[in-house]
Structure 1
Amino acid sequence: MPFAREQMSAIDKAPIKAPVAVDFMGLTTDEQADRRHHGGPLKAVHQLPPATYEKVNAEFGLKVRVGTLGENLTTGAVNHLPEMTEATVCIGDVFQYGGQNEKSDNDSVQLRLVQPRRPCYKINDQIGQFTKVPNIASWVTKQGIAGWYFEVVRDGMIDADLPVYLIERPYPFATLETLWQLTNAKEKFAADIIEPWLTIECLENSWKTVLAKKIKQD
């Protein structure tokens, strides 16, 4: 739909109940107006914790609803398991959405976490429809609560209220919370702190470039 600055955008999402097909480019019924910066195999599906909205609303006294910031998926914790947030998910994690159990060999979608979302000015413009609070995107970046992008490991159908299974965690050290702390830090770090991140094959390359610049030079 028409957006701020005389542009088009599909940032404003609404919940749906019908099943949706997912292929390597994401949800087949989803759209991105700016295909240079959004969408594609390494930004196929965007997930955002509901806690992000709680934090934004509490910080700025707002009532921003889920879906406003462009995410495709949100999840809720069950059975006393931890919420999916930047503190509990890792680069390289593979999640299965649906199925009767882990690694169910049906048409359940499997998604691999490959990078955080970088907040941009569109978050400011989107929330700016309701408030004059300046540069919320910068605050979200500093907090590291922008959610994350998946690449699609296995096509399938996705629907509301499906169970979600963590089926692979090859890099348990690589939480998004830690990644944001490293990339936002003003100081540099010893090579043994940064180099393990550079060996993560699925981490999107621009993040590796930022991290490589954080290594102390002897």
Structure 2
Amino acid sequence: MAQSISTPQLDSPSSSLPIHIATLKCVRTGKAMPFTREQLSAINKAPITAPVAVNYLGLVTDEQADRRHHGGYLKAVHQMSSATYDKLNSEFNLKLEVGLLGENLTTTAVEGNQEMTEATVCIGDIYQYGEAEDCVQLRVVQPRRPCYKINDQIGPTASNRNIASWITNQGISGWYFQVVKDGIMQNELPVYLVHRPYPFANLKQLWTLANSKQKISKEIIEPWLDIDCLEDSWKKVLAKKI
């Protein structure tokens, strides 16, 4: 029997946009360096204070060691909520600091708005960072899929519990942006939600569908398959759930 899963709407009608929702508190970039298992990785992202240019491949000073699985125009910029670290530290009795797991951007909500999390960010959303002509616009196109490097980065605790798998099951790994408009990024820029074409398509719901062990009704899945900007591998996962 096909499973019926609700698809809650988020309160951001197009007529009310743009909305000033957050402040960009930290921008991070990294270099490909020796990592575990005789691999290179750029998961160690360091905070930067100087303005950095953003083009269709992301922040120009950011690197990806494994270009098969990381980087590219559909994984140009990675953002993750600081709430992910709160959950990890609570679940595994850790003291992880924000920025450890490879994200480029960290934001904090402005008064009266919710934090940017998987529950409040939708596929297709376009966010604007900054206000001047050199502002950056980014479109959400897919969640991040955690890999073993998350475990290696955290250390023995992760190896014993497979934290990367736990993050996947929880659906709290952040999201990737496609660059819509090149520009300049720096700390303390205002963040605006400027476009929300698919208000039903929040990332929490996407993970719920993708992780479902049961078949799901066609009526639930088809709207997701019609999202033009959702990365194809996610559409394939969802199509198999029908």
Is the pair's TM-score, using the shorter chain for normalization, greater than 0.5? yes
1:13–1:82 distance in 2 versus 1, CA, 3 Å: same
Whether 1:157 and 2:184 are equivalent positions in the alignment is yes
- The CA RMSD measured in Å over matched residues stands at 1.1
Residue 9 of structure 1 is matched in structure 2 by: 41
Query: CA contact under 8 A between 2:89 and 2:95: conserved in structure 1?
Result: yes
Q: Does residue 1:33 correspond to 2:65, yes or no?
A: yes
Confirm whether residue 73 of structure 1 aligns to residue 105 of structure 2: yes
Match of 1:168 in 2: 195
In structure 2, the residue matched to 1:112 is 139
Shift of 1:133: 3.8
Q: 1:62 corresponds to which residue?
A: 94
What is the alpha-carbon distance in structure 2 between the residues aligned to residue 195 and residue 132 of structure 1?
37
Contact 1:60–1:133 (8 Å) recurs in 2: no
1:87 to 114, 119, 139: 119
Q: Say whether 1:208 aligns with 2:235.
A: yes
Equivalent residue for 2:9? Answer: none
Ranges of 4+ aligned residues in structure 1 off by more than 2 Å: 129-134
1:32-65 CA deviation, whole Å, 9 max, x = no partner? 1111100000000000000001110111111111
* Structure 2: distance between partners of 1:26 and 1:69: 17
Q: Which has the higher contact order (CA 8 A, sep 6+)?
A: 2
- 1:167-207 Cα offsets, whole Å, 9 max, x none, are 00000000000000000010111100000000000000000
Distance in 2, matches of 1:156 and 1:78, equals: 23
Which consecutive residues of structure 1, in runs of 5 or more, have no partner in the other structure?
none
Report if the CA contact (8 A) 2:152-2:158 is conserved.
no
Structure 2 unaligned runs (5+)? 1-32
Q: What is the distance in 2 between the residues matched to 1:81 and 1:207?
A: 29
Structure with a larger share of its residues in strand:
2
Query: Is 1:43 matched up with 2:68?
Result: no
Shift of 1:134: 2.6
* In 1: Cα distance, 2:79 partner to 2:61 partner: 16
Identity of aligned residues (%): 70
One-letter amino acid of the structure 1 residue matched with residue 130 of structure 2: G
C-alpha contact (below 8 Å) 2:44/2:101 kept by paired residues: yes
Counterpart secondary structure, 1:15:
strand
TM-score, normalised to structure 2's length? 0.85
